[in-house]
């Protein structure tokens, strides 16, 4: 039996991905930090190691099937089956319908939905052969309940994540692999702080007024739920997408 459980996290250089990598590192996992952002990803891995954890960084483009397959295979050759996969990499670019090209639509789906599928597909055979594993896919409240003005491609891709979670969960349940999703609400991250593509700092503060808890969330509050979904505490849970939004969806009326 290997000394540490291994988790691979996509988009782990910033925001929710970074917080998730840090949480798994603190929980004793060996963390495979992946991102297209090389310097940010390397820094996250170094911070985990400096804190006494175990981590390594690999640059990963989730839109490349060859790149994903090669990285997963190389990790499995050394460490065996991955214990946990967290599909977090994503983009959210503001594009009005009149300016929405096929290329822009496809780019968002290729990263936000198909990127999760690629990593899950690559890791699944060895997980299933081992009879264990957990896959967690990051969706959004914009894919669960809300439409998002000038982000139809993002909302559609994030809604697709729910279907992917359900389908994979049923297919792999008998093999001991659990698949769940998480749908964050308004979280203080680089994405939501972008005035060009999202709410911006002022808009984020305005959004807090509609959240029953009276504040936006922090990346660490999403990371903690992802860690739970990967843990033995969630051992009888599969095919679910958990909304973590401070009560926004149930409280705004």
Residue 13 maps to a domain: yes
Residue 133 maps to a domain: yes
Residue 20 maps to a domain: yes
Res. 197 pLDDT band, cuts 50 70 90: low
Residue 96 maps to a domain: yes
What's the rounded Cα separation, in Å, for the pair 133 and 86?
Answer: 11
Residue 120 has pLDDT above 70, yes or no: yes
Residue 199 has pLDDT above 90, yes or no: no
Residue 203 maps to a domain: yes
Supply the range of the domain harboring residue 24: 6-251
Residue 188 maps to a domain: yes
Angle between helices 38-50 and 15-26 (to 10 degrees): 20
pLDDT tens column, 48-78: 999 999 999 999 999 999 999 999 999 999 9
Calculate what percentage of the chain has a pLDDT beyond 90: 86
C-beta of residue 237 within 8 angstroms of C-beta of residue 178: yes
The CATH number that applies at residue 227 is 3.40.50.720
The predicted structure's pLDDT at residue 207: 80
Give me the catalytic one of 154, 186, 236, 253: 154
Number of domains in the chain: 1
Residue 193 has pLDDT above 70, yes or no: no
Q: Can 154 be counted among the known catalytic residues? A: yes
Res. 227 pLDDT band, cuts 50 70 90: very high
Residue 147 has pLDDT above 90, yes or no: no
The predicted structure's pLDDT at residue 148: 84
The predicted structure's pLDDT at residue 205: 77
Please state, rounded to an integer, the average pLDDT across all residues of the chain: 94
Residue 1 has pLDDT above 70, yes or no: no
Residue 190 has pLDDT above 70, yes or no: no
Res. 127 pLDDT band, cuts 50 70 90: very high
Residue 1 maps to a domain: no
C-beta of residue 244 within 8 angstroms of C-beta of residue 182: yes
Residue 196 has pLDDT above 90, yes or no: no
The predicted structure's pLDDT at residue 136: 99
Residue 31 maps to a domain: yes
Average pLDDT over residues 178-192: 88
The predicted structure's pLDDT at residue 194: 52
Whether pTM exceeds 0.85: yes
The predicted structure's pLDDT at residue 250: 92
């Amino acid at each position: 039996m290997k000394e540490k459980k291994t988790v691979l996290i996509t988009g782990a250089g910033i925001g929710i991905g970074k917080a998730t990598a840090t949480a798994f590192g603190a929980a004793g996992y060996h963390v495979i930090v992946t991102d297209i952002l090389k310097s940010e990803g390397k820094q996250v891995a170094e911070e985990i190691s400096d804190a006494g954890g175990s981590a390594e960084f690999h640059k990963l483009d989730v839109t490349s099937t060859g790149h994903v397959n090669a990285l997963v295979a190389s990790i499995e050759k050394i460490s065996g089956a991955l214990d946990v996969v967290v599909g977090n990499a994503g983009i959210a670019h503001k594009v009005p319908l009149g300016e929405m090209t096929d290329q822009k639509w496809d780019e968002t789906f290729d990263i936000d939905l198909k990127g999760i599928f690629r990593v899950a597909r690559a890791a699944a055979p060895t997980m299933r052969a081992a009879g264990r594993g957990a896959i967690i896919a990051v969706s959004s409240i914009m894919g669960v309940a809300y439409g998002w003005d000038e982000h139809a491609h993002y909302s559609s891709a994030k809604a697709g994540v729910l279907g992917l979670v359900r389908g994979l969960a049923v297919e792999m349940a008998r093999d001991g692999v659990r698949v769940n999703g998480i749908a964050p609400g308004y979280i203080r991250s680089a994405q939501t702080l972008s005035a060009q593509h999202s709410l911006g700092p002022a808009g984020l503060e305005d959004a807090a007024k509609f959240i029953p808890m009276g504040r936006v969330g922090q990346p660490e509050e999403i990371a903690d739920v992802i860690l739970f979904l990967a843990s033995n505490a969630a051992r009888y849970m599969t095919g679910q997408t958990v909304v973590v939004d401070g009560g926004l969806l149930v409280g705004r009326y």
